[in-house]
Every structure is written in structure tokens, then in C-alpha cells.
Amino acid sequence: MTDRRTTLKLVIAAAAAMPALRARANYRDNLEPGASEPGDVRRFEPTIHGYGPDPDLIKAYEKGAFWPLTMNAGQRQLAAALCDLIIPADEHSPSASAVGAVDFIDEWISAPYPKQREDRDTVLNGFVWLDGEARRRFEQPFAKLHEAQQRTICDRICDASRAAADLRGPAQFFAAYRNLTAAGFYTTLAGRKDLQYIGNVALTHFDGAPVELLRKLGLA
């Protein structure tokens, strides 16, 4: 599994490579016999054309204000468990689910645009694989497993370069979900604090670049 510091490096790299998250995986070949497709999934068509107007950044919007959300209660539980396995709480910050990463992911995969719709299939089919694997190995849904059991499953798919050939689809799902979790976490106040990011803060004054640096650059 990937620890928090490695996840931090991954999210920085992912910012420059977000299109790579759009790979659509076919998980049906990996389902256990008798496993079903994602239940209670709303199939809806875009209700707006293009990307619509910019939202009012001053206004507080309720969840689902722009389009119907996708995840049902069971899927949200699984989503939270996986988010917290990827970015757990530690001495510096809360867990990913505690700061709304599940809401972020649900909103993302519910957006009626082509790339988000691909991510929606990737995430929901990945959930089916995780639950199927959890029930096959431990006779419990993934969200109810102990952390060590969850790690046993995810350790097999957390590195696409080392995943077995029959696990490439689930590994692509895990890579996409890890980046979505990181994006949801590190764009919050808690996530920026964990990054030690000091931008977006009003300054009462600005002294400019240090003279030593300007001289080094030949600008002073």
C-alpha cells in the first residue's frame, strides 16, 4: 500500500497528468461467479449543454445541486473505507473521508461530461470488484473488513506495474481512485495544511524577492 508521503508525491505528479486517469477498464471478466453489476445506479443523460455557466463562488450549494449524485449508501461506505485506506488520519491531519473526499468523488463521477462518465464506470465497476473479492476471501463486504484485510486485497492492485495480468483492470481502477482521493483531500484546508502550502493567504505587505536571489539571477 502507499503511505501518505508517497501519496503526496503521487498527487503532485497527477496534477500534470490528469488525462491519464481516464482509462476505462473492463472489470466484468474479473467478477466472481454470481457477482452482480453495480446496483441502484442511475443511468442519466446530460441535462445541460456544454459546461454551462460558471457557479457563483460566493453561494453555498447543496450536494447534488448541479446533477443527480450517483452513489447509494453502500457505495458511499465502501468509498469512505477506501479513501481512508489511501489517506488515513495521522498526527498532522484528518482522514480523507473526514474532509469530504467521498462527496468530491461522488460529485466528480456524477458530472454529465464524457471524461467524468468514463471515471464513473471505472469507479463503480471497481467497487463491484472490491466487494466481490472481499466476499470471496472474507465473506464480508469490503467496507466491513478490518484494515489489515482491506490492505491484503488492495496490495495486489495498488501498483499497476506489478499487478498480475488478470488484475490490470482493478489496478487501473485503484490508480484512478487514488488520484481522485488525493485531489479531494489536498484541495481542502486540511489538505493544504498537510502539504504546508502557504499560498492563497492575504498579505499586509510584500518585500519582494530576496536581494541574494536577485543577484544570483543577475537581476540586481
Supply the pLDDT for residue 52. Answer: 62
- What does pTM read for this prediction? 0.71
Q: How far is CA 3 from CA 6, 44, 138, 150, 158, in A?
A: 5, 37, 24, 15, 11
> In this structure, what are the phi and psi dihedrals at residue 201, rounded to the nearest 5 degrees?
-120, 130
Q: Which of 15, 17, 27 is nearest to 132 (CA)?
A: 27
State the Cα–Cα distance between residues 220 and 218, nearest whole angstrom.
6
Share of the chain above pLDDT 90, in %: 59
Q: How many domains does the chain have?
A: 1
Residue type, 148: A
Residue type, 90: D
> In this structure, what are the phi and psi dihedrals at residue 154, rounded to the nearest 5 degrees?
-75, -25
| 132, three cell numbers | 466481490
Supply the pLDDT for residue 44. Answer: 44
| 185, three cell numbers | 483531500
> Under a CB-based contact definition with an 8 Å cutoff, are residues 23 and 15 in contact?
no
Q: Which domain holds residue 177?
A: 4-216
- For every one of its 220 residues, what pLDDT tens digit does the chain have, with 9 covering 90 and above? 545 545 544 444 444 344 433 333 344 444 444 444 443 334 444 455 556 667 788 888 888 888 899 999 999 999 999 999 999 999 989 999 999 999 999 999 999 888 999 999 999 999 999 999 999 999 999 999 999 999 999 999 999 999 999 999 999 999 999 999 999 999 999 999 998 888 877 888 888 889 999 999 999 8
Supply the pLDDT for residue 207. Answer: 86
**Neighbour count for residue 177 (Cβ, 10 Å):** 23
Conformation bin of residue 159: beta by default, left when phi > 0, alpha when psi is -120 to 50? beta
